[in-house]
Amino acid sequence: MTNAEVKTPRERYREQMRAEIKQCARDQIATAGASALSLNAIAKHLGMSGPALYRYYANRDALITDLIRDAYRSLADTFRTARDAGAQPPELAAALRDWALADPHRYLLIYGTPVPGYHAPADTTAISDEVMHALLEVMLPAQALTFWTRLHGVLSLELAGHFTGMSVDPATLFANEVNSLVGE
């Protein structure tokens, strides 16, 4: 590790606090949804004052942006790993579903109902382009877009609980949708 890579105790503490703030925010989102995110509640949970939290995040939108970037980065990394392993559309679809089921609130943060009053900066949503590029490497553009939208439709319905009580197995439905899209 070079001197330029060594972090000061203050930098390490700042990173730790930001990670704790994000974890509290994710917990809040899982309980009440992204639109109910409260910086004051996070500060209180962490034993700090509201103004102290603003040393780490300028406002609610800055925190949401960081959470969205993390989610997009995680999905893009998941797709890159699958693509690098030679994944074809069915395997990419499985990677998407596994990623979404592992943390439904993270999925819904980026693909669910938009947070009222929040607009993601362009550099944040640009990360999502990496996911589509992985599909475009194995499919034609129109196919990739159809594939992406139909799979998100099934996943969004599943994660929102809309198949409950319908005698529908979401895994089977998802697999059937993938098969119909790739012509199997």
pLDDT at 131 over 90: no
Amino acid at 144: A
pLDDT at residue 123 in the model: 87
Same domain, 93 and 178: yes
Same domain, 50 and 109: no
Q: Of the candidates 41, 57, 73, which is a domain's last residue? A: 57
pLDDT band at 152 (very low <50, low <70, confident <90, very high): very high
The parent domain of residue 124 ranges over: 61-182
pLDDT at residue 170 in the model: 96
Q: What is the mean pLDDT of residues 135-152?
A: 93
Same domain, 158 and 132: yes
pLDDT at residue 126 in the model: 83
Q: Work out the burial of residue 57: count CB atoms within 10 Å of its CB; fewer than 13 is exposed, 13-18 middle, 19 or more buried.
A: buried
pLDDT at residue 4 in the model: 65
Same domain, 32 and 116: no
pLDDT at residue 11 in the model: 92
pLDDT at residue 181 in the model: 93
CATH number, residue 94: 1.10.357.10
pLDDT at 6 over 80: yes
Same domain, 70 and 147: yes
pLDDT at residue 122 in the model: 86
Q: What is the pLDDT of residues 9-41, one digit of tens each?
A: 999 999 999 999 999 999 999 999 888 899 999
Q: What is the pLDDT of residues 35-80, one digit of tens each?
A: 889 999 999 999 999 899 999 999 999 999 999 999 999 999 999 9
Same domain, 132 and 86: yes
Same domain, 28 and 109: no
Same domain, 124 and 53: no
Q: What is the pLDDT of residues 84-130, one digit of tens each?
A: 999 999 999 999 999 999 999 999 999 998 998 999 898 887 888 88
Same domain, 84 and 7: no
Same domain, 83 and 155: yes
- Rounded Cα distance between 71 and 106, Å, is 6
CATH number, residue 36: 1.10.10
Q: Of the candidates 57, 72, 89, which is a domain's last residue? A: 57
What is the number of domains present in the chain?
2
Is pLDDT larger for residue 1 or for residue 42? 42
Q: Of the candidates 10, 39, 57, which is a domain's last residue? A: 57
- Rounded Cα distance between 121 and 176, Å, is 36
Same domain, 40 and 85: no
Same domain, 141 and 170: yes
